[in-house]
Amino acid sequence: AAMVKESVRVYARVKPLGRRQQAGIYSVDEGENSLSNLEIIVPHDLADGFINNKRESYQFKFQKIFDQEAKQDVVFDSIAKPVAECVLAGYNGTIFAYGQTGSGKTFTITGGAERYSDRGIIPRTLSYIFDQLQKDSSKVYTTHVSYLEIYNECGYDLLDPRHKASRLEDLPKVTIMEDPDQNIHLKNLSLQQATNEEEALNLLFLGDTNRVIAETPMNQASTRSHCIFTIHISSKEPGSAVIQRSKLHLVDLAGSERVAKTGLGGHLLTEAKYINLSLHYLEQVIIALAEKNRSHIPYRNSMMTSVLRDSLGGNCVTTMIATLSVDKRNIDESISTCRFAQRVALIKNEAVLNEEIDPRLMVIQLKKEIQELKDELALVTGEQRTSELSQEELLRLDKLIEIFLEDNDPDSNLNVGADMRKIKYCFSHMKQLMNHSKISDKKLLSQHTSEEKDTNKDVGEELKKLQELLQQRNNEINILVNMLKKEKKKAQDALFHLNAASAGSAVFEQCPSVNLEERQSPSSCSSLKEAKDLIYSVHRLPFLSRETGGKMSLGCQEAFEVFKRDHADSITIEDNKQLLKQRFSEAKCLGEKLNESRNKINHLKGEITQKQFQRAALAVSNPSEELNTFDPVEEELRTQIEKEKKRYKTMFNRLKVLKVEIEHLQLLVEKVRMKMQKDFEVWWSEEAINLQVR
């Protein structure tokens, strides 16, 4: 089979500095062999006080370095497009982002949450792949996607459509299985079919939403977990028995930050430990792969290295993006990230074309073989065997079974001869007999007891429900009262500030202390437990589960409205809504123009037909006259049609692009809205706990 042998390609991307961040010193050069060079200088004030022989300048080589101003489309074109092309050609591909929390991994892989132009590698790759598939009519393609999150060595299926997860643990658990050929299979990870870009984007959105919803402030899943979005493509030429299958993993790894070993004082740039254990195992795998003659590679140590096994030193075209945050305080982490990248660049992969034979063809071959064996058997035994037993034979077997069952002699035997069909029949018949007798036993038992119990249970449940409801409403009232107090206080504060401002600024410093006192709350063990119980009950409030989203209680709705008004994200929502409106009206306008254009084309076509009729009529009435085949008027009409068609095509394409953008914007709005709701729920339950503790 065809094979591509090459090293893992390693790129770097530098995140733009924040407004208040102080830049570290670094420079980017085009080096020789089309590689780029990144130099990082450790400034004196950081190196000072540490060991004297410390190097101050660090050099790293990358395939290419994307500096702060690099845009998403450029990153996609140079990093992801080549990999997507390999995957379309039938090879496996992986792109993974590695870097400390906040360095831009998610931004690069998935995209920013606000602007359409900020969409990252996943949506752009989906768009590119479906575009290419549409263009290629020589093959039949099938596309599936899956989305896996690994947190604390447990895998979770992010494409769970039930929308029930309010914790990661509510998602279906994914486990690893290894077959005898040491291939990895993921049990419970759903593969969802996506027939076009829109369906695939909806699935991505579903996964990202589950990811956000399932994240609690406590587990910080987004910095501690790995997310793997996989596009599975299979293709077949019509009539051929060969199927090509390929996978593209797009991986957002956990934050690579490390804790310096404590107690040694000042070993800033020396060995430090990962916070995330599975990244430690990833590093071990990579070190082992870089060593020559190393036969054992410790893939099995963690779930992530098992899943990415082929992507690391195996059958895959692999690309790494090192994301760097080069503000002064993060220089040491940036150097760690670059060092890791240099080691990854040493890994050699061998991607082979993944081809297999169509199982249907296999079935046809096996059927033929079975027929031949049957013929042979008939020759040897001298009797023709069909797969069915005759009615007579069945009756005889029933009789034998009956005798066998009734015979009390422990030595009795059921002998039906060396015929698999008969043996199988006996087993299934006896199973039937046994199940039948069990069921009738149970029925007798249960008829007596069930009736009176039911009514008691009903009353008890009703009571419990009412009590729970009462408790919920109680909580709501308290939270609302608190909110009201705060609103009132805000108004007063505003008034106070106004007065203070005119009186002089000295009074200001007294204000914050008031707030501080309010927060202090004693907590003891028993109230903590109560708080936990309360969380539990709060988590099950009806408004929290999205399936009954419409039934938020009145008090809770009120609180949500106020919360929304004060939430920072509501500006983003509004902005995007405005943009959406604009795009909608643009789309509508385009739609109308398209209609006009189509009408015009039809009209022109009509005119041509009429012209042709006229000419035909003329030819019939004056057969002697030579037919003039070239009609300048008709020719003019034709060029007009061509022109109009071109215009139509341009507008149509623009509308298509617009549609994708509109859908994406809708998803963004929806995502932010979900996040806000989630924030509200967290706030609400915290409020409830605070009340309880007090």
Read off the tokens for 308: 């990415």
Task: Say which DSSP state 76 is in.
Answer: I
The terminus-to-terminus CA distance of the chain in angstroms comes to 71
Task: Say which DSSP state 23 is in.
Answer: B
Q: How far apart are CA 523 and CA 519, in angstroms?
A: 12
Residues 341 and 126: beta-carbon distance below 8 Å: no
- Judged by CB under 6 A, does residue 105 bind ligand ADP? yes
User: Which of ligand ADP, Mg ion, none interacts with 112 (beta carbon under 5 to 8 A by kind)?
Assistant: ligand ADP
Shortest distance (Å) from residue 557 CB to Mg ion: 32
Q: How far apart are CA 281 and CA 274, in angstroms?
A: 10
Residues 59 and 37: beta-carbon distance below 8 Å: yes
Residues 539 and 685: beta-carbon distance below 8 Å: yes
Type and span of the H or E element at 4: strand 3-7
Residue selected from 101, 219, 471, 537 as contacting ligand ADP according to rule CB under 6 A: 101
Residue with smaller CB distance to ligand ADP, 75 or 126: 75
Shortest distance (Å) from residue 674 CB to Mg ion: 17
Read off the tokens for 228: 């793997």
Q: Report the site for ligand ADP in 534-593 (rule: CB under 6 A).
A: none
Partners of residue 111 on adjacent β-strands: 119
Residue with smaller CB distance to ligand ADP, 99 or 313: 99
550 is in an annotated binding site: no
Residue with smaller CB distance to ligand ADP, 123 or 313: 123
117 is in an annotated binding site: no
101 is in an annotated binding site: yes
- Judged by CB under 6 A, does residue 211 bind ligand ADP? no
User: Which of ligand ADP, Mg ion, none interacts with 15 (beta carbon under 5 to 8 A by kind)?
Assistant: ligand ADP
Shortest distance (Å) from residue 679 CB to ligand ADP: 16
Residue selected from 106, 256, 319, 323 as contacting Mg ion according to rule CB under 5 A: 106
Size of the site for ligand ADP (CB under 6 A): 13
Q: Report the site for ligand ADP in 296-335 (rule: CB under 6 A).
A: 323
Q: How far apart are CA 130 and CA 124, in angstroms?
A: 10
Where does this chain touch Mg ion (CB under 5 A) — which range of 87-95, 100-108, 120-128, 199-207? 100-108
What are the residues whose beta carbons fall under 8 Å from the beta carbon of 479, sequence distance 6 or more? 555, 559, 684, 687, 688, 691
Residue selected from 8, 10, 12, 15 as contacting ligand ADP according to rule CB under 6 A: 15
Where does this chain touch ligand ADP (CB under 6 A) — which range of 95-103, 302-310, 519-527, 632-640? 95-103
- Judged by CB under 5 A, does residue 108 bind Mg ion? no
Where does this chain touch Mg ion (CB under 5 A) — which range of 219-227, 414-422, 427-435, 502-510? 219-227
Q: How far apart are CA 679 and CA 564, in angstroms?
A: 10
- Judged by CB under 6 A, does residue 16 bind ligand ADP? yes
99 is in an annotated binding site: yes
- Judged by CB under 6 A, does residue 123 bind ligand ADP? no
Residue with smaller CB distance to ligand ADP, 66 or 425: 66
Shortest distance (Å) from residue 431 CB to ligand ADP: 56
Residue with smaller CB distance to ligand ADP, 211 or 232: 211
Shortest distance (Å) from residue 116 CB to ligand ADP: 14
- 515-528 residues labelled b (16+ CB within 10 A) or e (exposed): eeeeeeeeeeeebe
SS3 of residue 384 by DSSP: coil
Residue selected from 60, 107, 281, 299 as contacting ligand ADP according to rule CB under 6 A: 107
Read off the tokens for 322: 């090192």
Residue with smaller CB distance to ligand ADP, 102 or 123: 102
CA dist list (Å): 305 to 153, 299, 536, 635: 11, 5, 35, 67
Read off the tokens for 28: 């980017």
Total residue count of the chain as it appears in this document:
694
What are the residues whose beta carbons fall under 8 Å from the beta carbon of 364, sequence distance 6 or more? none
CA dist list (Å): 68 to 14, 26, 252, 274, 448: 5, 12, 20, 26, 77
User: Which of Mg ion, ligand ADP, none interacts with 103 (beta carbon under 5 to 8 A by kind)?
Assistant: ligand ADP
> In terms of Cα–Cα distance, which of 490, 658, 506 is closest to 587?
658
User: Looking at beta carbons, which residue is closest to ligand ADP?
Assistant: 104
Q: How far apart are CA 143 and CA 518, in angstroms?
A: 56
User: Which of ligand ADP, Mg ion, none interacts with 16 (beta carbon under 5 to 8 A by kind)?
Assistant: ligand ADP
Identify the burial level of 450 via C-beta atoms within 10 angstroms of its C-beta, where 0-12 means exposed, 13-18 middle and 19 or more buried: exposed
Beta-carbon neighbour count of residue 585 at 10 Å?
10
Angle at 423 between CA 421 and CA 429, to 5 degrees: 100
72 is in an annotated binding site: no
**Site map 219..258 versus ligand ADP, x via CB under 6 A:** ------------------------------------x---
Shortest distance (Å) from residue 204 CB to Mg ion: 15
639 is in an annotated binding site: no
**Site map 252..291 versus ligand ADP, x via CB under 6 A:** ---x------------------------------------
User: Could you write out the DSSP letters of every residue in 80-131?
Assistant: IHHHHHHHHTT--EEEEEE-STTSSHHHHHTB-SS-GGGB-HHHHHHHHHHH
User: Which of Mg ion, ligand ADP, none interacts with 107 (beta carbon under 5 to 8 A by kind)?
Assistant: ligand ADP
> In terms of Cα–Cα distance, which of 193, 294, 309 is closest to 251?
309
* Phi/psi-derived region of residue 235, left when phi > 0, alpha when psi is between -120 and 50, beta in every other case: beta
Residue with smaller CB distance to Mg ion, 63 or 222: 222
Radius of gyration (C-alpha) of the chain in whole angstroms = 35
Distance of CA 509 to the CA centre of its chain: 48
Shortest distance (Å) from residue 247 CB to ligand ADP: 23
5 is in an annotated binding site: no
Shortest distance (Å) from residue 104 CB to ligand ADP: 3
Where does this chain touch ligand ADP (CB under 6 A) — which range of 2-10, 38-46, 103-111, 182-190? 103-111
Q: How far apart are CA 48 and CA 54, in angstroms?
A: 10
Where does this chain touch ligand ADP (CB under 6 A) — which range of 102-110, 385-393, 536-544, 564-572? 102-110
- Judged by CB under 6 A, does residue 336 bind ligand ADP? no
- Judged by CB under 6 A, does residue 99 bind ligand ADP? yes
230 is in an annotated binding site: no
Residue with smaller CB distance to Mg ion, 106 or 244: 106
User: Which of Mg ion, ligand ADP, none interacts with 314 (beta carbon under 5 to 8 A by kind)?
Assistant: none
Residue with smaller CB distance to Mg ion, 61 or 226: 226
Annotated binding site for ATP: 99-106
Q: Which residues bind ligand ADP (CB under 6 A)?
A: 15-16, 99, 101-107, 112, 255, 323
Annotated binding site: 99-106
Q: Which residues bind Mg ion (CB under 5 A)?
A: 106, 222
